[in-house]
Structure 1
Amino acid sequence: MLPTICYDVQLFDANAHLLQITVTLPANAQQTILRLPNWIPGSYMIRDFAQHVHQEQARDSLDQVLAWRKTSKHTWVVAPCAYDFTFSYMVFANDLSVRSAFINDHYAFFNGTSVFMQIIDDFDQKTQVLEDFGINDEREYAVRLFGNQYSLAHKWQVSTTLPVVLKEDIHPIQRSDSEYLLGHFQVNSYTNLIDHPIVIGAINVHSFMVEDVVFEMMFTEQVDLDMVALLDDMKKICVHHLHLFNSHTPIKRYVFQTLVCKDGFGGLEHQASTALLYPRDSLKNTAAAGISEGYETFLSLCAHELFHTWHVKRIKPNVMVNPSLTLENYTNQLWIYEGFTSFYDDATLVRTGIIPAQSYANILAKNITRLLRNPGRVDQSISRSSFEAWTKFYKQTPDSTNFIVSYYNKGGLAALCLDIVLLQQSNGQANLDTVMRLLWEHYGVDEVGTPDHVIELLCKQYLNINVESIVHQLAHSTIDLPLPTLLPTIGLRLAVRPAIDVNDKGGISKATPCPVAFGAMYSANPVGIKLTQVLIGSPVACAGMSRDDILIAMANYEVSQSNLINLLTRFTQQASVELTWLRDGRLCTGTMPIQSALCDTAEVHVMDEAKFNAWAQRTLTFPE
């Protein structure tokens, strides 16, 4: 068995946003290779975490300095050493997101991919390629967390799902007058080491149990939530997911780690936890505040990330089973993983009775509106969007909507279509739930990677349903989704209309839409309005305007955010109108054609509540 590698993590300087990491390594007659990931599983973009590593040092157990060198942006090589030795470094942790590392006077949060270097001391250059060396290395790693006088005085505690070393095995450690042991953990692979994020702070934790699984809602501060109501809603979500997958529950404890902030949003799945970033002003469900849209979105986010416990963390594309975190790992399947999960996050809320039917219909309308306003849907399929996630999706600009489609957004709507088609072709005996159970039983339980055509394979083999044609339409083509014909079969009706104004995200409204097309998103400016996104081929684009231009006049009338719609309406009977704008300090003019507003805003109506409830409150059935 390979020797255990121990990482000591010190909250070095919260104001400077510094963590100090010291790795203790065994003697090695050969050189020792240490490597920090370039990306974190679940977030498909090269992030170069090593850019935040500084002040590296290597010393043996006799306190002698060892030679080391960097061989790439994220790889360090330490010279052979006859004694045990340490490699220490600082990590600058000031990225308030769920993907990296952060520390200030309020709390510390970090992912293993940002702080724990993988040890590759058994690498054979003759037979292996370092970039391909995976993370399933099957060796023991230990982690010790050390606080300081500040964390002690403010009663900081640790939240993580890393396996704890038995308390009776922990000897009180005070490395100095200012360093105290906060926690001691051990795992059996690098994969496990980096899949349990750590929060240290004056945390608030609220626990509940569902079918022998302990769930914890952790917040980095006191929040304005009715906890009884929150835990009741969360229990419903957890019951739904546990019953959906039904067997071989992979968790005994699960933690929702919520980083409360002023602005920000995000979630990242892990083996037995999720890291969430959420604005405090949206975390409201008290009687005084009412059930806010922000609260519903928080529940949907929790449902989304918990679903990934099965569908992403265990059921996963074949290329993600043992990835190297050095280079991109391309897959066409993200629409199956993020798309299906996006369908279930909102569907779970209506299935469990947390939200009523029309609320779900309104959410659906907003999702359809997002897709309709996305010109890139006619250029890129969601399977191609999956493959190009590393660049086009994760490195979007305001112009990207003209060229790409979201495998989350369209993928979720495609999942709804597939669910309805399966119901139709099986006479109500199968649906997407059936497919999820098959995925779990045949791929997830043993963590066997899925091939690109896994949905077609499972439906043919176990349900005797050929879905090749519909899957091709939904995932591999740019044909519009068949929502208008499918939604009535579950009691819903889709209608489309022009947008009322720039803030109209879709859903039922009695307000009068703007009759004239404009074709850009915009924001207020001290003078005029600033275009933040311009659709190719739109009237404003035909006038010659681009993103970041400042529109100041229309037909010599001053333009502002508050009067644009009224101005557009004034010119409905004209063929065109003159625009005046500023571009990089220059005055420009152009002619905008007057065109009827596009019907790119969706309304979804519940027309047959009994039919919809039969769909939403289905009994889960699965093939033997």
Structure 2
Amino acid sequence: MIMNILYKIVPASLHAHLFHVSITINKPDKNGQCLYLAAWIPGSYLIREFSRNIVEIRAESAGKPVMLNKCDKHTWQAASVKGPLEIHYSVYAWDLSVRGAYLDQSRGFFNGTSVFLAVSGQESNPCYVDIVAPEGKAYKQWKIATTLTKDDAKVGQFGRYQAANYDELIDHPVEMGEFSQISFKACGTPHDIVIAGRHNADLKRLKKDLKKICEYQIKLFGEPAPFDRYLFMTMALGDGYGGLEHRSSTALMCNRDDLPLAHETQIKAGYRQFLGLCSHEYFHSWNVKRIKPAAYAPYDLSQENYTRLLWAFEGITSYYDDLTLLRTGLISQQDYLDLLAQTITGVERGNGRTKQTLEDSSLDTWVKFYRQDENSPNSLVSYYTKGALVALCLDLLIRQQSAGQKSLDDVMRALWLRYGQDFSSAGLGVAEADWERLASEVTGLDLQSFFDLALRSTQELPLQTLLAEFGVEWQMRAAVGASDKGGWLDKVLPPSNSLGIRSSSDGSFVKLSHVLDGGAAQAAGLSAGDLLIAINGLRVTSGNLEAQLASQPINGELDVLAFRRDELMRFNVRLQHSAENTCGLKLKALDAEKSMTRDAWLLG
């Protein structure tokens, strides 16, 4: 069998962090073959210029050099040849994230968008890839984890794999090294969990908990699962967090202390967060990998792809990730309300929600959300967090106005049947107006005014009113210290003094990372990046800042010394009360009928 496009990737120089990649193109363009590398990776909406990591590249045919001209930042043009064309290049892999490529003597990892040049004009052709083991006795125990379809390779082993086309090739990341692995079946579909890095995780418990999450979401959309097998590939670190979805796998990073230990019986906060991350990325198997915005059907990986729908694809996914934990019995109802309160708090604490609509947040993701700076809390709103709150409001509104006959679950299933189930063959994406139209069609409700308010205005969402209808008590209070992210307090303390800042430690100084609109610091002229030295003649540190502020009289004035760059500056600051922007939620006692309505929402 002739393989028209054959890739080979070798972890060739582990200490220098270099993958060597070659491509054999048996039928190159007779006018000269063009090749290009992706500029971004689906699921992470920022131009990342992966081509910058190609450190050397050359072409040859029949053993003789072929001229290779670089056309732009990520495109190359080979001269015309009569026979097969070979491209050889090295990729620097030192990105310890879920988005790029990484290689050292302990592990290797890559996404196809970082290492595989596309053969222009032949993207729809089958692709084969030889994944080669590193040389040396130290690496004899290395194996790989991927959901690429094996060709002559054995499962988990180095060898040849295949993909139906280039789009499929780059949607199956590869982990290589020595790692822990455990397997289970969810609704009859094989699933694997792989954990690289040092850890002491209770894999049996992790398997049991992930099985519940997977089976719930498969049944939510309808069996069978949309893949033949699924892989959770996780890198455990001393400090790390992140995830990126793929069509039959997800790449994850977590703090190793967040993983469950054998002696632990409760779900600690870190493990709850990790399960929520797994739930989020798994839900994307339906909502974004197969139910896609029309702007992503297909992706154009050479430039930004704009859509106003990220609230629906990331926000709704963020709504269901924690709700899945509740509906599978992994967390309690109060745990869920605490997580919801933290989301509300996060949105309330950003003045950007009064300036940027949710649709604009989606459009601006390429220049704002993934490029956040010191002014971001004042200028943007997250389509993840506010999108999750819009999903909550939409779900409760549908349940309320349909007398419990319909819900957001019905909308998601309808989206799956119309757009997602046959996406691999039909390739039909959701147009921006179609999402809202389908929601009204499925529920039989006029939702136009809600969508106008929630998506195209900066007005407050009707959260408190809707939650009250479902027996959830609302509390909005001032934060109790910098670590207070939200949650119900039985005794609400009076507001404390506030500078209106976010800060971090910088050696022995307090560094202002953000200065919030309307706060005392901004009014006095303090700015992000300033280093606080003293307040009223006393040295200030991260450890005593809150105590120093608390010791001052209400609306008191402060003499603040700070460095800006290398200049010492003095500021007169008049303190303000901390804002009441911290949310708490708890269940109210209800009669039997209303309690059933609430349970239908929370428990599914």
| TM-score above 0.5, yes or no | yes
Structure 1 counterpart of 2:81? 81
Per-residue CA deviations over 1:304-336 (Å, capped at 9, x if unaligned) read 000000100000100101122101010000000
Secondary structure of the residue aligned to 1:577 is: strand
* Residue 18 of structure 1 pairs with residue 18 of structure 2: yes
In structure 2, do the counterparts of structure 1 residues 474 and 285 end up closer, same or farther at CA, with 3 Å as the change threshold? farther
Question: How does 1:29-40 map onto structure 2 within 5 Å?
Answer: 29-40=30-41
Structure 2 counterpart of 1:131? none
Structure 2 counterpart of 1:408? 384
Which of 251, 265, 271 lines up with 2:241 in the alignment? Answer: 265
Which of 148, 151, 157 lines up with 1:165 in the alignment? Answer: 151
In structure 2, do the counterparts of structure 1 residues 294 and 53 end up closer, same or farther at CA, with 3 Å as the change threshold? same
Q: Say if 2:326 and 2:603, in contact at 8 Å, map to a contact too.
A: no
Q: Distance in 1 between matches of 2:543 and 2:378?
A: 26
Q: Say if 1:318 and 1:449, in contact at 8 Å, map to a contact too.
A: yes
One-letter identity of the residue aligned with 2:580: C
* Residue 452 of structure 1 pairs with residue 419 of structure 2: no
Query: How far apart are 1:574 and its partner, in Å?
Result: 4.5
Q: Distance in 2 between matches of 1:345 and 1:221?
A: 25
Structure 2 counterpart of 1:479? 459
* Residue 316 of structure 1 pairs with residue 296 of structure 2: no
* Residue 291 of structure 1 pairs with residue 267 of structure 2: yes
* Residue 558 of structure 1 pairs with residue 534 of structure 2: no
In structure 2, do the counterparts of structure 1 residues 64 and 616 end up closer, same or farther at CA, with 3 Å as the change threshold? farther
* Residue 142 of structure 1 pairs with residue 128 of structure 2: yes
In structure 2, do the counterparts of structure 1 residues 328 and 59 end up closer, same or farther at CA, with 3 Å as the change threshold? same
One-letter identity of the residue aligned with 2:403: N
Question: How does 1:146-545 map onto structure 2 within 5 Å?
Answer: 146-150=132-136, 153-166=139-152, 182-221=158-197, 223-247=199-223, 249-288=225-264, 290-447=266-423, 448-509=428-489, 512=493, 514-545=495-526
> Percent identity over the alignment?
36
Query: How far apart are 1:482 and its partner, in Å?
Result: 1.2
- Larger mean CA deviation between 39-48 and 150-159 belongs to 150-159
Query: How far apart are 1:566 and its partner, in Å?
Result: 2.9
Query: How far apart are 1:540 and its partner, in Å?
Result: 1.0
Q: Say if 2:70 and 2:76, in contact at 8 Å, map to a contact too.
A: yes
Per-residue CA deviations over 1:266-317 (Å, capped at 9, x if unaligned) read 1111010001111212213432485321111111001000000010000010
Query: How far apart are 1:151 and its partner, in Å?
Result: 6.9
Q: Say if 2:407 and 2:443, in contact at 8 Å, map to a contact too.
A: no
Secondary structure of the residue aligned to 1:99 is: coil
In structure 2, do the counterparts of structure 1 residues 616 and 101 end up closer, same or farther at CA, with 3 Å as the change threshold? farther
Query: How far apart are 1:560 and its partner, in Å?
Result: 2.4
Q: Say if 2:69 and 2:78, in contact at 8 Å, map to a contact too.
A: yes
One-letter identity of the residue aligned with 2:579: L
Q: Say if 1:11 and 1:20, in contact at 8 Å, map to a contact too.
A: yes
One-letter identity of the residue aligned with 1:46: I
TM-score for both structures, normalised by structure 2: 0.94
Q: Say if 2:149 and 2:162, in contact at 8 Å, map to a contact too.
A: yes
Structure 2 counterpart of 1:586? 567
Q: Say if 1:553 and 1:579, in contact at 8 Å, map to a contact too.
A: yes
Structure 2 counterpart of 1:176? none
Secondary structure of the residue aligned to 1:353 is: coil
TM-score for both structures, normalised by structure 1: 0.91
In structure 2, do the counterparts of structure 1 residues 150 and 492 end up closer, same or farther at CA, with 3 Å as the change threshold? farther
Secondary structure of the residue aligned to 2:80 is: coil
Q: Distance in 2 between matches of 1:253 and 1:138?
A: 23
One-letter identity of the residue aligned with 1:443: Y
- Larger mean CA deviation between 522-531 and 109-118 belongs to 522-531
Secondary structure of the residue aligned to 1:42 is: coil
Q: Distance in 1 between matches of 2:554 and 2:173?
A: 60
Q: Say if 2:198 and 2:237, in contact at 8 Å, map to a contact too.
A: no
Q: Say if 1:501 and 1:514, in contact at 8 Å, map to a contact too.
A: no
Q: Distance in 2 between matches of 1:615 and 1:487?
A: 10
Query: How far apart are 1:382 and its partner, in Å?
Result: 1.2
In structure 2, do the counterparts of structure 1 residues 95 and 5 end up closer, same or farther at CA, with 3 Å as the change threshold? same
One-letter identity of the residue aligned with 1:363: L
Q: Say if 1:31 and 1:121, in contact at 8 Å, map to a contact too.
A: no
Q: Say if 2:495 and 2:579, in contact at 8 Å, map to a contact too.
A: no
In structure 2, do the counterparts of structure 1 residues 459 and 307 end up closer, same or farther at CA, with 3 Å as the change threshold? same
Q: Say if 2:206 and 2:260, in contact at 8 Å, map to a contact too.
A: no
Query: How far apart are 1:488 and its partner, in Å?
Result: 1.8
In structure 2, do the counterparts of structure 1 residues 582 and 25 end up closer, same or farther at CA, with 3 Å as the change threshold? same
Q: Distance in 1 between matches of 2:174 and 2:287?
A: 22
Per-residue CA deviations over 1:425-444 (Å, capped at 9, x if unaligned) read 11101111011001101111
* Residue 571 of structure 1 pairs with residue 537 of structure 2: no
Query: How far apart are 1:366 and its partner, in Å?
Result: 0.9
In structure 2, do the counterparts of structure 1 residues 285 and 348 end up closer, same or farther at CA, with 3 Å as the change threshold? farther
Q: Distance in 1 between matches of 2:195 and 2:397?
A: 40
Q: Distance in 2 between matches of 1:394 and 1:584?
A: 26
In structure 2, do the counterparts of structure 1 residues 229 and 564 end up closer, same or farther at CA, with 3 Å as the change threshold? same
Q: Say if 1:500 and 1:513, in contact at 8 Å, map to a contact too.
A: no
Long gaps (5+) in structure 1: 123-136, 171-180
In structure 2, do the counterparts of structure 1 residues 613 and 117 end up closer, same or farther at CA, with 3 Å as the change threshold? farther
One-letter identity of the residue aligned with 2:126: E
Q: Distance in 2 between matches of 1:616 and 1:204?
A: 38
Q: Distance in 2 between matches of 1:596 and 1:293?
A: 30
Q: Distance in 1 between matches of 2:182 and 2:442?
A: 41
One-letter identity of the residue aligned with 2:236: V
- Larger mean CA deviation between 150-159 and 513-522 belongs to 150-159
Q: Say if 1:351 and 1:617, in contact at 8 Å, map to a contact too.
A: no
Query: How far apart are 1:572 and its partner, in Å?
Result: 2.9
Q: Distance in 2 between matches of 1:613 and 1:206?
A: 38
| Cα root mean square deviation, aligned | 2.2
Q: Say if 1:320 and 1:329, in contact at 8 Å, map to a contact too.
A: yes
Q: Distance in 2 between matches of 1:619 and 1:277?
A: 29
Q: Distance in 2 between matches of 1:618 and 1:239?
A: 19
Structure 2 counterpart of 1:547? 528
Q: Distance in 1 between matches of 2:137 and 2:77?
A: 34
* Residue 67 of structure 1 pairs with residue 67 of structure 2: yes
Query: How far apart are 1:4 and its partner, in Å?
Result: 2.2
Structure 2 counterpart of 1:178? none
In structure 2, do the counterparts of structure 1 residues 616 and 325 end up closer, same or farther at CA, with 3 Å as the change threshold? farther
- Count how many residue pairs are aligned between Structure 1 and Structure 2: 595
Query: How far apart are 1:79 and its partner, in Å?
Result: 0.7
Structure 2 counterpart of 1:55? 56
Structure 2 counterpart of 1:92? 92
One-letter identity of the residue aligned with 1:394: Y
Per-residue CA deviations over 1:388-409 (Å, capped at 9, x if unaligned) read 1001111111321110000001
